[in-house]
Amino acid sequence: MEGPVVDISKLLMLDGRVALITGAGSGIGKAAAILFAQAGAKVGLVGRDAKELEDSQQEVGGDTLAITADVSCPVDMERAVSQLVERFQRLDVVVANAGINGVWAPLESLEPAEWNETIGVNLTGTFLTMKYAVPHLRQTHGNIIVNASINGTRVFSNCGATAYACSKAAQVSLTKMAALELARDGIRVNVICPGSIETPIHGKTVQRELENVSAAVEYPEGTVPLTHGKVGAAEDVAQLMLFLASDAAKHITGTEMWIDGGESLLMG
């Protein structure tokens, strides 16, 4: 039986498409912006740090628009999406990537404001990114990629990272709810769950009194089986994002994909 002829060289290309990537000023978001631009997309780089975005825009090259916005702020995100669509006249791919590790601390010392900050950026920010993008994705039968984590989805041994893990678990639920709701419009929604990836995020984590809540048992050495302990690179994650954004993934929706060199299978 003969199927349709597929041009493999074009399968991962995003020519003529417009992508919005949040948190594009650093780490995984920046790597995705670079790769998507190389694949032919026009890219909207969204983030809350204007200087970081400007530097990233230089590195990405191609046809881009940098938009300073806080993903946890509805007014900002509504404006960010309209600015992008006004500039490029369409929206095909959304990468809800911006996120923070926030404060890692025992439950009784974690302040409600610290909890709200992490949930606000990681979960509400993902919701707002989707909410304002959906009307435009309906026009293009576009797709959404959410960046969650192994934490809260397969790994529960990072004691103190409770707000982070809960925000990441909820991103998976949000993806699945949205995938079914939006399937009738031909919009795909998927979520990726990276393990340890080398980016600046780790230096921004606030850790407090964790000695009081260490896991009952700890692995003595190495946590990434596939690479003998070496953590992943932002570019590894960007490649998975490109695959999900492209026509090569046209029948994939509502799915979480772990990208961690087997780390979460070992750590749990």
Nearest CB to ligand NAD, comparing residues 28 and 170? 28
Tell me phi and psi for residue 96, to 5 degrees: -85, 90
CA-wise closest residue to 33 among 11, 10, 55: 55
Is residue 169 a contact partner of residue 123, using CB atoms and an 8 Å limit? no
99 binds ligand NAD (CB under 6 A): yes
User: Which region, judged by CB under 6 A, interacts with ligand NAD, from 19-27, 155-163, 180-188, 208-216?
Assistant: 19-27
Interface region with ligand NAD, contact rule CB under 6 A, candidates 5-13, 132-140, 199-207, 214-222: 199-207
Which residue among the candidates 88, 104, 164, 258 is catalytic per the annotation?
A: 164
Burial of 104 (0-12, 13-18, 19+ CB in 10 A): buried
Q: How far is the CB of 230 from ligand NAD (least distance, A)?
A: 13
> Mask: binding to ligand NAD, 203-242, rule CB under 6 A, as x and -?
-x--------------------------------------
The residue assigned the tokens 């997309």 is: 41
Please answer whether residues 261 and 237 qualify as being in contact, where contact means their C-beta atoms are separated by less than 8 angstroms.
Answer: no
Site size toward ligand NAD (CB under 6 A) is 29
Q: How far is CA 248 from the centre of its chain?
A: 19
Task: Centre a 10 Å sphere on the Cβ of residue 219 and count the other Cβ atoms it contains.
Answer: 10
- Does 197 bind ligand NAD (CB under 6 A)? Our answer is yes
For the bound state, the minimum distance from the C-beta of residue 194 to ligand NAD, rounded and expressed in Å, comes to 4
Q: Does 257 bind ligand NAD (CB under 6 A)?
A: no
Question: Hey, which residues does 236 pair with through a beta bridge?
Answer: none
Backbone angles phi, psi at 206, to 5 degrees: -95, 115
**Footprint (CB under 6 A) of ligand NAD, residues 24-83:** 25-29, 47-49, 52, 70-72
Q: In the bound complex, what is the minimum distance in angstroms from residue 252's beta carbon to ligand NAD?
A: 20
Which helix (H) or strand (E) segment holds residue 179: the answer is helix 162-183
Distance, CA of 173 to CA of 210 (rounded, Å): 28
| 98-106, 133-141, 178-186, 250-258 -> range binding ligand NAD (CB under 6 A) | 98-106
Could you count the other beta carbons within 10 Å of the beta carbon of residue 210? 14
Is 138 or 228 the residue whose CB approaches ligand NAD more closely? 228
**Nearer Cβ to ligand NAD (124/143):** 124
Catalytic residue status for 164: yes
Would you please indicate which residues are annotated as catalytic (active-site) residues?
164
